[in-house]
């Protein structure tokens, strides 16, 4: 089947309980840039950018009862974390821990590649990944191998 993506990165939507707390975490602490917001029939969604990645925070007008189990690797099935590529991993981890956010996995790595996991206000894990000084973001996938 041939694909025709308009955008070569995946956006992620996160339903949050308290938009103010989540915006403080994602924008003020992690450094994502708020580029807009949309009022929906059921609530409000904020659009945040990290390079070409779009993170969409949605807060419903009526609080939701159900929540995914918190945690990253062992918390359950389904989407467990999102990854933000950075070359400033220590500074971001310091800002997050200094602001009181939980560091689920400290800066760890093999060679020049390093990662850490931070917990957002709703218990979601955010991976910070530093590919090393010589690495560049991977190119979009080749169309030659489409099945």
pLDDT in tens, 17-44: 999 999 999 999 999 999 999 999 999 9
The percentage of residues in the chain with a pLDDT greater than 70, rounded to a whole number, is 79
pTM of the predicted model as reported, rounded to 2 decimal places: 0.80
The answer to whether residues 113 and 132 touch, using CB atoms and an 8 Å cutoff, is yes
Alpha-carbon distance values, 7 to 10, 54, 78, 89, 117 (Å): 8, 11, 23, 26, 26
CA atoms of 14 and 126, how far apart (whole Å): 11
Burial of 69 (0-12, 13-18, 19+ CB in 10 A): exposed
- Residues forming a β-bridge with 118: 103, 126
Domain 12-63+71-139: give its CATH superfamily.
2,3-Dihydroxybiphenyl 1,2-Dioxygenase, domain 1 (3.10.180.10)
Per-residue pLDDT of the chain (147 residues; tens, 9 = 90+): 666 677 778 899 999 999 999 999 999 999 999 999 999 999 999 999 999 899 999 999 988 776 666 666 665 666 778 899 999 999 999 999 999 999 999 999 988 899 999 999 988 999 999 998 877 665 554 444 443
pLDDT at position 143 is: 44
Per DSSP, helices labelled H in the chain are 19-23, 89-98
List the chain domain ranges. 12-63+71-139
pLDDT in tens, 83-98: 999 999 999 999 999 9
CA 52 from chain center: how many Å?
12
Q: What value does the CA radius of gyration of the chain take, rounded to a whole number of Å?
A: 16
């Amino acid at each position: 089947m041939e694909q025709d993506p308009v955008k070569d990165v995946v956006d992620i939507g996160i339903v949050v309980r308290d938009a103010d707390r989540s915006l403080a975490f994602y924008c003020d602490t992690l450094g994502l840039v708020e580029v807009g917001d949309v009022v929906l029939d059921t609530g409000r969604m904020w659009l945040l950018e990290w390079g070409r990645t779009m993170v969409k925070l949605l807060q419903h007008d009526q609080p939701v009862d159900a929540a995914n189990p918190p945690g990253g690797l062992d918390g359950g099935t389904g989407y467990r974390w999102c990854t933000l590529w950075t070359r400033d991993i220590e500074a971001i981890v310091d800002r997050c821990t200094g602001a009181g956010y939980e560091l689920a996995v400290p800066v760890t790595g093999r060679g020049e590649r390093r990662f850490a996991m931070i917990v957002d206000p709703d218990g979601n894990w955010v991976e910070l990944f530093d590919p090393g000084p010589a690495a560049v973001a991977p190119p979009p996938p080749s169309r030659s191998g489409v099945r």
